[in-house]
């Protein structure tokens, strides 16, 4: 008999966000602050939703806060803003990387090895799931890219600069019985949504770049045409991504085993996700997600 298992906990963001530090090298994944909606967040016994602010010069722990209406909250500072609707499970990302590079680098990011601004939501699953136990894994999210403005001007170089909105999962060695640690080999499994340089994102396999804070891990990304109806995406239009990603995960695992990243496929789990913006260039971006779900189908 089959049964469903939700991998994500608190899909409406009612428990708030645990904020990581700006520097993944020195801060790693330590939590430095708790965005608890002015004390109105539902209290939890475990870290659920994490907010990443890698390489910002403006630490979001000092962000201003306001309650917009019942269940709707806003945090903002000099370069980024988020609006969280806990009634509908909506999260709006607004980020100005030009302001961050001006403060951190004195101007645009020109060195391709220099780390770039991130604005991500993360979750380590309370219970990971073994891939071999799955008969399907359904990924769902509604996403709207409201606006993307390139601010690099004539210095824009597509080899250095872009704005990317992507959903990542990790496939890691583990037991599938509890929240997994960070040990063991792993790969990134990507569901790309937007890249400023391209009308759609082709399937690609690469390694995480050689820059401060990178994981050096394999990245296996899907073709966005398989789940997004427009190429390019229309600003302001909401798209719903809904697909069974298990067949692609199995292909990613097969590739990783063949290339000796994993010794075997039998001890692999899906244990973590992140979604949001990476801005190697100077951009002003605005987007929103809602109805984010990861639901596994398992056999007794």
**Max intra-chain CA distance, the chain:** 60
For each of the domains in the chain, give its residue range(s) and CATH number, in order of start.
Answer: 2-299 (2.60.120)
pLDDT by residue for the chain (300 residues), tens digit each?
A: 889 999 999 999 999 999 999 998 899 889 999 999 999 999 988 889 999 999 999 999 999 999 999 999 999 999 999 999 999 999 999 999 999 999 999 999 999 989 999 999 999 999 999 999 999 999 999 999 999 999 999 999 999 999 999 999 999 998 766 565 556 789 999 999 999 999 999 999 998 766 665 677 999 999 999 999 999 999 999 999 999 999 999 999 999 999 999 999 999 999 999 999 999 999 999 999 999 999 999 987
DSSP H or E run through 5: strand 2-6
For 26, the 3-state DSSP assignment is: coil
Q: 86: phi > 0 → left, psi -120 to 50 → alpha, else beta; which?
A: alpha
Distance CA 212, CA 203 (A): 26
State residue 1's pLDDT score: 81
State residue 220's pLDDT score: 98
State residue 299's pLDDT score: 83
State residue 181's pLDDT score: 55
State residue 216's pLDDT score: 74
Distance CA 236, CA 150 (A): 17
Q: Name the pTM for this structure.
A: 0.95
For 250, the 3-state DSSP assignment is: helix
State residue 208's pLDDT score: 77
């Amino acid at each position: 008999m089959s049964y469903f298992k939700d991998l994500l906990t608190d899909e409406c963001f009612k428990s708030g966000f645990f904020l990581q530090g700006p520097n993944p090298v020195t801060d790693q994944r330590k939590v430095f602050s708790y965005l608890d909606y002015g004390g109105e967040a539902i209290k939890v016994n475990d870290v659920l939703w994490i907010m990443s602010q890698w390489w910002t010069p403006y630490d979001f722990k000092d962000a201003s806060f306001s309650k917009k209406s019942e269940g709707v909250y806003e945090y903002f500072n000099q370069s980024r803003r988020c609006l969280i609707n806990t009634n509908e499970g909506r999260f709006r990302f607004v980020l100005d990387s030009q302001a961050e590079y001006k403060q951190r680098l004195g101007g645009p990011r020109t060195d391709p090895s220099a780390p770039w601004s991130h604005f991500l939501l993360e979750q380590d699953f309370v219970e990971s799931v073994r891939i071999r136990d799955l008969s399907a894994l359904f990924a769902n999210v509604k996403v709207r890219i409201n606006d993307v403005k390139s601010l690099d001007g004539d210095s824009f170089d597509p080899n250095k600069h872009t704005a990317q909105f992507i959903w990542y999962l990790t496939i890691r060695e583990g037991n599938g019985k509890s929240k997994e640690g960070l040990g063991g080999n792993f790969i990134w499994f990507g569901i790309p949504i937007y890249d400023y340089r391209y009308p759609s994102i082709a399937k690609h396999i690469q390694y995480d770049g050689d820059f401060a804070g990178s994981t050096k891990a394999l990245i296996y990304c899907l073709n966005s045409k398989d789940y997004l109806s427009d190429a390019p995406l229309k600003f302001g239009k909401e798209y719903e991504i809904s697909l069974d990603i298990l067949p692609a995960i199995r292909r990613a695992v097969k590739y990783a085993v063949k290339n000796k990243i994993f010794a075997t496929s039998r001890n692999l789990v899906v244990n973590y996700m992140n979604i949001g913006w990476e801005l190697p260039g100077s951009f002003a971006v605005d987007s929103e997600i809602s109805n984010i779900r990861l639901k596994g189908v398992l056999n007794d």
